[in-house]
Structure 1
Amino acid sequence: MATMRAARLDVRTLTLEVKDVPRPVPGRGQVLVRVRAAGVCLSDVHLIDGTLRPLHLEGDEVTLGHEVAGVVEELGPDVAVSGVGDRVALQAGQTDRSGTTLTRGVDYDGGWAEYALADEETLVPLPDDLPFDQAAIIPDAVSTPWAAVTSTADVGPAEAVGVWGVGGLGAHAVKLLRLVGAAPVVAADPDPRARERALAYGADAALDPTAPDFLARVGELTGGRGLDAAFDFAGVPAVREQALRLLGEHGRLVLVGLSDKPLEIRNSTRFSYLKQQVLGHYGSEPEHVVQLVELVGAGRLDFADSISGTFGLEDAPTAVERLEKRTGSPVRLILEP
């Protein structure tokens, strides 16, 4: 039996181990992808620390990694379009026959391995000039904020927006909000390195949300009308309370950062009078990944500055530790099996 190396999480003991496992064989409508790059996401950290638990995993172990790009290595029966050698990114999840949404690297094996199985319909073709490391992070790291900006919040040109948390997702949100014409784009993060990054990614202002004059500064930047949309990428109650205070008429607060803490609207009369909204957001749809790949191909987007470090598969635990401790304030770390 052929084997491969994979970073496997035991969800009972919360231990991550890189070890030999059977190399998967593609079934009907599936392909085997030789993984060339896989992103390390904060969701992976939360799976390892037990904050996030798989809902639909069969068994006690899973290969992590939901941000994956590589080359088609082998075709299963009835594969209609894909061919061996195709350069592809993998959608971060799929829907099973019962209609349940499953997440790659959470509910079934992902891409922290030498090879990954994928249903043909989850493949996204890549142009030859798009590097695998940049392609890998498009599903989730870029597509999640893209979906939040364009679908959930439906941000339009010249709308004033705020982004709390300029990490892996928030940094891309700043870049994408600039692309769709939002103005001003105000980034909020207590980390000075994150604020510098926000300005480099196109924010009109990058502020410390703990500063005494933060609310007044945002008021000045929006001409006193408040924010049309506020994005919480931190998942922190204090952020949500602050963002709600800064919403203007018809303002939308979009909750992207995950939290098990309650959400409190202290002045519900004002909230209702101004017809404000709180909108939950999770992940993206397949078309969002396709749109982003096309935008990269058209020269509208580039993610070279998003790659903060590259590691071999055997060093997956080191990459996880570095992300967890935010060593160097990374946007995205990449594994190259």
Structure 2
Amino acid sequence: MLAGRLNPSAGTFEMKQVPVPEPGPGEVRIQVRAAGVCLSDVHLIDGSLSPAHLTAQEVTLGHEVAGEIDVVGPDVPEQWQPGTRVTLAAGERCGVCAQCTRFREPCLAVRTRGVDYDGGWAEYALATHHTLVAIPDSLPFEQAAIVPDAVSTPWGAVAGTGRAEPARPAGVWGVGGLGAHAVQLLRLLGAAPIVAVDPLEQARARALEFGADVAFDPADPEFGDRVLAATGGAGLDVAYDMAGVGAVRSQALRCLGRNGRLVLVGLTPEPLSVKNSIGLSVRGLRVLGHYGSKPGDVERLVELTRYGRLDLSRSISGTMPLAEAPAAVRALIDKTGDPIRLILVP
């Protein structure tokens, strides 16, 4: 089968023919119908991110995957049958750390699909049964594929780590694949006002379409005054860095009100620095790291789509054949067409 393979030590990514995998105990084989292209995939390819737990020389990329169960291995619960439509959790517990062996949350060494073990940029992919999430017929594979990261990661940041609240001001820096959904989810939770920040005019327009109350250019000389005006002089209750950029974090910190929280969602190897931490202490500000989502979040979000509370139809910027994965990566790097999510289709 065709698969997009990354060799982290050699720094190479290429499309290769590899054997079709066979499911072992507790596993199923998925016929992949859609796989998302994420900025994290780009960072893995350019070497700015590295797998933490990869034991093989190569790995198939792709942590946003949806498809149909093709073959069921031994010891899989009967509810999972061939033909069942599913999306796959973006990672799983290691099973061996102190938390896992004591059945506690969270796992101390979560393995990420398409990073630490083979993902879904392929015609077929393996998945342990506890990472399967059934999807309704009303949810297209292209939309279902992005729920386990592009949607669930901002959900975890908005509803969990950042504790956004109704009628409290929230800011989102970077209205791309993660940020667009953060805006949408903040709207769903009732945060107000929602301040979106992006240097691209088309991204700011998208933010307003997705539910932001205002959208600002971070280079605007009156940026700080505009944020204060939008929040009635109070500053933001919580700010989300969805871009993973040092300058974003510095600017977002300055926009926080008393006891405000900055949540770091976008991944970057850049150092985190605070020029003057006195204000951080005096105003009781907090900087919080965030990664992924909690167990059950993907199921919850799928249910929101089922009942029409969450519309992901605007999130799919285009589809491309799996064989054109390198071109999809370049399009994301170059922001060709200002994509939210590009989808690979085997």
The TM-score normalised by the length of structure 2 is 0.95
Equivalent of 1:20 in 11, 17, 20: 17
* Structure 2 letter corresponding to 1:93: G
* Structure 2 letter corresponding to 1:175: Q
SS of 1:253's equivalent in the other structure is strand
SS of 1:13's equivalent in the other structure is coil
Deviations 1:183-211 (CA, angstroms, capped at 9, x unpaired): 00000001101101101101000100101
Cα drift, residue 268 of structure 1? 2.6
Deviations 1:255-311 (CA, angstroms, capped at 9, x unpaired): 111222332333433222222211111111231111100100111011111111101
User: What is the rounded CA distance, in whole Å, between the counterparts of 1:21 and 1:130 in structure 2?
Assistant: 30
User: What is the rounded CA distance, in whole Å, between the counterparts of 1:317 and 1:260 in structure 2?
Assistant: 23
* Structure 2 letter corresponding to 1:243: A
Give the structure 1 partner of residue 81 of structure 2: 83
Give the structure 1 partner of residue 226 of structure 2: 217
SS of 1:25's equivalent in the other structure is coil
Question: Structure 1: which 5+ runs fail to align?
Answer: none
Equivalent of 1:146 in 150, 155, 165: 155
CA 1:315–1:231 in 2, change beyond 3 Å: closer, same or farther? same
Say whether 1:120 aligns with 2:154: no
SS of 2:139's equivalent in the other structure is coil
* Structure 2 letter corresponding to 1:39: G
Number of equivalent positions: 334
Give the structure 2 partner of residue 8 of structure 1: 5
User: What is the rounded CA distance, in whole Å, between the counterparts of 1:78 and 1:176 in structure 2?
Assistant: 37
Cα drift, residue 6 of structure 1? 1.0
- 8 Å CA contact 2:48–2:268 kept in 1: the answer is no
Give the structure 2 partner of residue 103 of structure 1: 112
1:1-337 correspondence runs (5 A): 4-80=1-77, 81-99=79-97, 100-337=109-346
- 8 Å CA contact 2:48–2:269 kept in 1: the answer is no
* Structure 2 letter corresponding to 1:88: V
* Structure 2 letter corresponding to 1:157: P
Between 1:12-21 and 1:317-326, the stretch displaced more is 12-21
User: What is the rounded CA distance, in whole Å, between the counterparts of 1:111 and 1:128 in structure 2?
Assistant: 21
* Structure 1 letter corresponding to 2:42: V
Identity %: 61
User: What is the rounded CA distance, in whole Å, between the counterparts of 1:88 and 1:336 in structure 2?
Assistant: 15
Cα drift, residue 36 of structure 1? 0.3
User: What is the rounded CA distance, in whole Å, between the counterparts of 1:216 and 1:259 in structure 2?
Assistant: 28
The TM-score normalised by the length of structure 1 is 0.97
| C-alpha RMSD of matched pairs (Å) | 1.0
User: What is the rounded CA distance, in whole Å, between the counterparts of 2:334 and 2:280 in structure 1?
Assistant: 37
* Structure 1 letter corresponding to 2:200: D
